[in-house]
A and B are shown apart, each in its own frame.
Chain A
Amino acid sequence: MAIEGVDLIRAAAFIGAGLAMGFGAIGPGVGEGFAAGKACEAIGRKPEEAGLLTRTMLVGQAVSESTGIYSLVVALLLLFVV
């Protein structure tokens, strides 16, 4: 089976997209879960601050999400642009 250059590049881009999104999803998933777990702990200690704590949790998670979105963007670039 002969492998042409263009085919090889497309193959590498597809595998790369899978690797980018797959590994990229590990960190944000664990990090956001950790933030939410600690927010639950804090609400358990001080239920009257639930609003403030939920807000802070969401802001923290949004920041943690950013690397997951970078991975998604890179994966989509590899799939459709490169």
Chain B
Amino acid sequence: MTLDVPVMIKLASYAGAGLCIGLGAIGAALGEGFTAGMANQGLSQKPEQSGDILKNMLVGQAIAESAGIFALVIAILLLFLGAPVTTMLKASALFSAGLCMGLGAIGSGIGSGYPGGHCCLGLARQPAISSRLTTNMLIGSAVCQTPAIFSMVVALMLMFMDFSQMPLWPTWAAFLGAGLSTGLAAIGSGAGGGLAAGASCEGISRNPDTVGQVTTTMLVGQAVSQTPSIFGLLVSFILMFKTFPESTALAASMALLGAGISMGFGGIGPGIGNGMTAEGAVRWISRNIEATGALTRTMLVGQAVSQSTAIYAMVVSLVLIFVV
């Protein structure tokens, strides 16, 4: 059976579009459900705050939704854009773009739900600091969206860059690896950043005087949680922009696909772990502000150790790309 290039490109973009919105819908829906659940819990405690809680629930859900909307935009582009028919390589790039955006939206959607939910519950506890809680939620969930934005950048590059000069073998595998690397690594960073942001909303509502320290530590913790997704983005950029010598050996292609798999899956755990660490530190800074120094130190040491496996994964990826 032989498939000509236009058919393959259509096939790849439709399959990519389906995976993109299918996977991309997981995170946003889970995150928004968590926000709504916490909002209901808050309402049962303070029904008279219903207006404020409902408003914040909708704002929080709107941010969580944006990851899903990114996935929808990429899926629609894949369906209707009608990519210029160039080479068979474009088929791999389009499929990978869909996969990257779909996977990348999961973590950000889940992560953005946490601060929204804890903000709603916090409003029931401390209605007086409503504006501070909303600001903190917005900052925290905006940071959670960055991995989804990284994924969208990689997806758009894969869709619109001109790859017609590159050899089909092994570049098709490099593109698939590039999509997997950023998409999968974004899952951990998005969810992890959300844990830290949720704990900070909870902390501010328990002890509003600590808002400065809590927000600062949240941002530091979230920044460290983002690093696995930045490693993923780095590996993707290398895979997209490096020109690989033509080789029809299966091993040359599989090395590049393996590099993407290693960095992608390897980024999930450290991203979530760093977020759990930041969650613990932020929560306890709000309860025991005197221990801020010791807690920040311990958080950074703990995150550094948790980060080590992401670094191993990146080393294996780089060895697969440059050495073997």
Contacts and interface: CB of A to CB of B under 8 A. Distances in A.
A58 B304 CA distance: 11
Nearest to B301: A54
Contact of B306 (A12, A53, A61): A61
B190 interface: no
Interface residues of A, number: 55
Nearest to A18: B258
A33 B307 CA distance: 9
Nearest to A10: B251
B305 A41 contact: no
Contact of A41 (B249, B284, B307, B310): B284
A61 B184 CA distance: 24
A26 B297 CA distance: 24
B281 interface: yes
Interface in A25-82: 25-41, 43-45, 47, 50, 53-54, 57-58, 61-62, 65, 68-69, 71-72, 75-76, 79-80
Interface residues of B, number: 66
B280 A37 contact: yes
Contact of B302 (A3, A19, A61): A61
A32 to B, nearest CB: 4
B252 to A, nearest CB: 8
A13 B251 CA distance: 8
Given A36-B305, A68-B309, A22 B266 contact: yes
A50 B248 CA distance: 57
B308 interface: yes
Contact of B269 (A3, A17, A26, A61): A26
Contact of B258 (A17, A23, A39): A17
Contacts of A10: 249-251, 254
B106 interface: no
Nearest to B285: A44
A29 B285 contact: no
Nearest to A53: B298
Contacts of B265: 19, 22-23, 25-26
B272 A29 contact: yes
Given A3-B250, A29-B188, A21 B313 contact: yes
Interface of B: 184, 188, 192, 228, 248-251, 253-255, 257-281, 283-285, 287-288, 290-291, 294-295, 297-299, 301-303, 305-310, 312-313, 315-317, 319-320, 323-324
20 contacts: A3-B250, A11-B255, A14-B320, A18-B258, A18-B259, A21-B262, A21-B266, A25-B266, A25-B269, A25-B270, A28-B308, A29-B268, A29-B270, A33-B306, A36-B277, A37-B278, A39-B298, A41-B284, A61-B302, A65-B308
Given A22-B262, A25-B266, A35-B302, 19 more contacts: A1-B248, A11-B249, A18-B262, A18-B316, A25-B267, A25-B270, A26-B265, A30-B269, A30-B276, A33-B192, A33-B269, A33-B273, A36-B276, A36-B277, A40-B302, A47-B291, A50-B298, A54-B298, A65-B305
Interface of A: 1, 3, 7-8, 10-19, 21-41, 43-45, 47, 50, 53-54, 57-58, 61-62, 65, 68-69, 71-72, 75-76, 79-80
